[in-house]
Structure formats: structure tokens, C-alpha cells
Amino acid sequence: MTATAPREEQLWSRCAGCASLLYRKRLRRNLDVCPECGEHARLGAPERLRQLVDPGSLRPLSGRLPEADPIDFVDVLPYPHRLTAARASTGLAEAVVCGTATIGGHPAVLAVMDFRFLGGSLGCAVGELITRAAERALDDRTALILVTASGGARMQEGALSLMQMATVSQAIAALREAGLLTVSVLTDPTYGGVAASFATNTDLVLAESGARMGFAGPRVIRQVTGRALPEGFQTADFLLRHGQVDMVVQRRSLRGRLMALLAATRAARPVRPPVPRQELAPRRERLAGAESAPPLAGDGRDAFTGPPGTPAPGGEPGSTACDAWDTVRVARHPGRPTTLDYLDSVFDGFVELHGDRLGADCPAVVGGVARLDGRHVMVIGHQKGHTTAELVARNFGMASPAGHRKALRLMRLAARLGLPVVTLVDTPGADPGVDAEEQGQAAAIAENILTLTVLPTPVLAVITGEGGSGGALALAVADRVLMLQHAVYSVISPEGCAAILWPDRSAAPQAARALRLTAPDLRRLGVVDEIVPEPAPAAHDDPAETARRLRAALLANLLPLLDVPPAMLVRLRRQRFRRFGAARFAARAGAR
């Protein structure tokens, strides 16, 4: 619906679907659904909650989040100014509202996103709030209902916003393990990092009529592929036809469907072994022992990995070896060693395994069994290539859903065989094509992320070139994350960020600096644990020496993990990603 006055002051609204002029009170009585054409207008989080929960039952979750600007991001406006404007225009503290309530008398915890607040983007505070909601559902042993409306991860918080995909996913995994129902309700629109994590990795996925969901947005897909999009592409009915949602629900029926699901779940709940105390304890108790745990990312207790006498990239703290845009160009160099190059030079006896067992084999992902200093490991990585023909054949290292499902199959196989997993990340992002969306790209990435949070075997990830968005994170939820000196890791490409937040794409160098995507930046933020130095001037100038240094770094990080019991590995991995909450980075920003 379109109008010029604030919504609560409107007498009339014009339907965005059929252009009918509608009396506002009548429209509100019809739950903001056009009575002429059925167009479902977008709802803010407060109105959505009023429609779903029993009157008077909502209890907002307590705990105020501190202000946070974790990477001091500035485009044409400083990030804090954008936050202030969003809070003033919506009356909300952040892009999600969380609370406990009853629906038809059935208790639940709800997290409802609001697209009006910076496009419902997923940042550290939003991830923290949704994770707290999931932890509350675990403590109360009730269902968790997520209502999503988001353009994706929040660019202004760089790779830290990307980490929230893993943080929330592991909270969903804990609810799965406890036998508690999780439901996501997709509303219009749900895209990017939200679609590729908690919006699609819940037990049940409902789509409100008219909702659109996908990993990549229609404009991006048209730009990348040059193809016209199918009729109704990424709409709720499209998702239902392609098996990506459980049901499509009219808004007037949504509350009733949720009531029925909650009632059936409570009536049929199986008898389960008691949940371990550390899983049911309050969040502060579960994390109380973190200080005695082995070193985690960015805690100041782990060192730069390199040959004796090698200085850490970037020299003194706070500096970088070269400009961020120059680093992006080096990371994309066609001569840079690929995963297959490293499999030949770092590992021994590689045996490649193909296929997702569902009908396809994606050439952008290679994986199989290999040896590292005599120890068998499962190695999985993105494969780009060096020549134009190789790059095209491998889709520039952009994995399709089949590629992510092949990686998932190999990870699970490694866990069953007791093999550690080593992943080599080098992708501009996941495949944004029409076919990928039809085959469930977002859900494939989401399942990889969720599975890695609970995989009972050591996982070691290396960012070797480009680490682009959710496509990179799908292989990078690990016990230890290493990064080559001239690699980059980001929530979005500099060109994509510039196109959205600056007047034109020519601002890509500025966006690269603002995103804090270089290895020294990410090491300071705790996103990566160690930096592997490259021979001067870069890896492609001396691939043999690069391989030697990478091999030494892999052994130094993998060997200690082999002695950690599987249950402890999973617990420490979860603590690692749970630490990417808003409070930690707000405190860090305040210290600066």
C-alpha cells in the first residue's frame, strides 16, 4: 500500500497491487490485506505481534543492547547516523522485536523482524537478540517462532554481520537437539544472509502469501545472468512448487496454523533423555567457563603463524601492509594458487569424490580424502581455475546448491569416519543464477552452516583468496579459521557495497576500506585466528613457498584439535561463534 502521510494518520491507502483506493480502517480490519486483489502489505514488527499472539500475553525479552559500531563504517553517512534515523522513524531499538507470548494458549518465544529498520538487516545486535530468544526457548523448553523480513546481512558491520548467520544457526541447532520445535514464517521480503541461515534451517518453513525469498535478489540475478526471470520468480507459490517451504498461508489463517502446529507438537512430544545441564543453564552460566577454554579467535592469546623471524602482516597494530582495494585485486589474481593446486602441493594422495547423491555434481566445489603429514583428512574447497576456460567451466568458484550439498555429504562422511575436515575457501560468493534459486540455494547454504556448528570432528578453514558472503561461510564455520596474508573475507563485494551505499560503483575502493575485509582487519576483529604470510610480493609469485607455509600452518593448528574429545570440540566451536555478540564488539569499540 502506498501513501504520503504516516501510516497511523492515513484515512486512505492505495494498494500497491491493484491501485485501488482503500479506506484505512477497513484495510486494518482486513489485516492490511487488500480486499480487492489480496495484496499483503508489509507489516511492522509491533503490528505483526498484535495479529499473532494472544492479547496481553506478550512479554518483551529484557536486556538492553549497548550501542555498537564495530568497524567504524562510513559511506556517505556515518553508520551511527543511520541507526539514529532508523530508531527515530520506527520507534524500535533494532530490526527485530523478541518476546515470550502465547498463541491460542500455547507458549512460544517469538522473534519478529521489521523491514522498516535498515531493511531488516542482520547485524550484531539483531543476531544477539535472536540468539537470546532461542536460548530463552531452550531454557523454557518451548517452541521458537521466527518471522523474517530482511534484505540480508548488514553491510555496515562487515564480516561481523556474516558471523551472525552462524551464531543464530547454532542456537537453532541446540533447539533441534533438545527436541523443541522451530518455525520460520517468511514474509516479504526475505533475502541474503537471513534466507541462507535461520529463515530456512528451522524444522518448519511457512511462507505468507505474497512473500518473496531467495539468496540473491532479482536485480542481482538479472545483472549477473542477463536472463529474464520466470513468472512469479521467488514468490511464495514459486517456493512451494520447488519444494522449499512447507506451506503458503494467507495472513488471516496464519495465527490458526501456528496454533495447530504448536498444539500438535505439545501433544506428540516424545520422551527424550534429559538435556545436559550446560544446555539448559542460563546463557551467562553456559559461557562462564569460556575463560578457561583453549584460545579462541581474537582473544589476544594466539600468535601470528609464520616462519621464525617473519613479521606479522600490517606491521604495528592498527596498520595494514597495503591498501584494502589493492589487496582485493591481489586476492582475485588469476595466477593465485587454487584448491587443486594446494591439493597437489600441500597434501598427498588426494582421491576426489564427486556428486551430491541427488542428481548433480558441481565443478565449483572439489573434495575428497587426502593425507597431511601422513594423517588422513577430508579436504573440501572452492575451485576457480587460472584460464578463462577453466574459470567458466568451474563457474568462477561460485557453488550451486549441488556444490553445497556435495560438501555437506563429505563433511558428514568425515564425521562418521573420524576424519578431520580442512576447507579451502576461495569464492566471490554462491551461484546467484535462476537455476540455483529454483534448487534451493539459500536452504543449501543454511544447512551447511547449521551442520558445521555441530559436526563432531575437527574443522579447520583457510581463506585462501576471496571469501565472499554466505558462499564462503558455508565452508568456514570452523574450530580455527586461518587466512592467507593477501586474501579477503567480506559480507559483500566492494562493488556491490558501493552500488548500494554510494552514488555509483566507482566507489568500490572506498567500500573495500570501509568493509575491513583484509586479513589484519579481520584478525583484530577476531573473525580469523591466524594469518599465514605469503612470500613477497604475493602467493602467485612463489606458489611452492606459499604451499610450504600453508602446510606448516595447517599442521600447527590441526594437531592440537585431534586431542580434543568430539563433544568438547562442538562446545568450544559454539562458544567461539557465540562470542560474536553485540556486547563484545560494543565494548571493543568503546575501548578504542
Tens-level pLDDT at each residue, the chain (592 residues):
544 445 555 687 777 777 777 777 777 877 888 877 777 888 999 999 999 999 999 999 977 776 678 898 988 889 999 999 999 999 999 999 999 999 999 999 999 999 999 999 999 999 999 999 999 999 999 999 999 999 999 999 999 999 999 999 999 999 999 999 999 999 999 999 999 999 999 999 999 999 999 998 888 888 888 888 888 899 999 999 999 999 999 999 999 999 999 998 765 555 444 444 344 343 434 333 333 333 434 443 343 344 333 334 443 333 334 799 999 999 999 999 999 999 999 999 999 999 999 989 999 999 999 999 999 999 999 999 999 999 999 999 999 999 999 999 999 999 999 999 999 999 999 999 999 999 999 999 999 999 999 999 999 999 999 999 999 999 999 999 999 999 999 999 999 999 888 877 789 999 999 999 999 999 999 999 999 999 999 999 999 999 999 999 999 999 999 999 999 999 999 999 998 865 454 445 444 4
Are both 243 and 358 inside the same structural domain? no
What is the maximal distance between C-alpha atoms in the chain? 75
Dihedral of the CA atoms 214, 507, 164, 61 (nearest 10)? -90
Exposed e or buried b for every residue in 192-210, given b needs 16+ CB within 10 A?
A: bbbbbbbbbbbbbbbbbbb
The β-bridge partners of 421 are 378, 459
Structural domain of 72: 45-280
- The structural domain count of the chain equals 3
Are both 32 and 71 inside the same structural domain? no
Are both 63 and 190 inside the same structural domain? yes
Are both 132 and 174 inside the same structural domain? yes
User: Is residue 346 one of the residues assigned to a domain?
Assistant: yes
132, 114, 126: which is closest to 162 by C-alpha? 126
User: Is residue 243 one of the residues assigned to a domain?
Assistant: yes
Are both 155 and 205 inside the same structural domain? yes
CATH of the domain at 172: 3.90.226.10
- Judge whether 12 and 21 are in contact, CB under 8 Å: yes
Are both 181 and 129 inside the same structural domain? yes
User: Is residue 487 one of the residues assigned to a domain?
Assistant: yes
Domain boundary residue, one of 219, 247, 280? 280
Are both 36 and 120 inside the same structural domain? no
Spatial neighbors of 263 by CB under 8 A, at least 6 apart, are: 104, 106
Are both 136 and 219 inside the same structural domain? yes
User: Is residue 415 one of the residues assigned to a domain?
Assistant: yes
For the entire predicted model, the pTM comes to: 0.86
200, 227, 226, 225: which is closest to 211 by C-alpha? 200
User: Is residue 313 one of the residues assigned to a domain?
Assistant: no
Are both 2 and 57 inside the same structural domain? no
User: Is residue 376 one of the residues assigned to a domain?
Assistant: yes
User: Is residue 195 one of the residues assigned to a domain?
Assistant: yes
Amino acid occupying residue 252: R
Are both 351 and 458 inside the same structural domain? yes
Are both 35 and 61 inside the same structural domain? no
User: Is residue 312 one of the residues assigned to a domain?
Assistant: no
Are both 5 and 105 inside the same structural domain? no
Q: Is 134 helix (H, G, I), strand (E, B) or coil?
A: helix
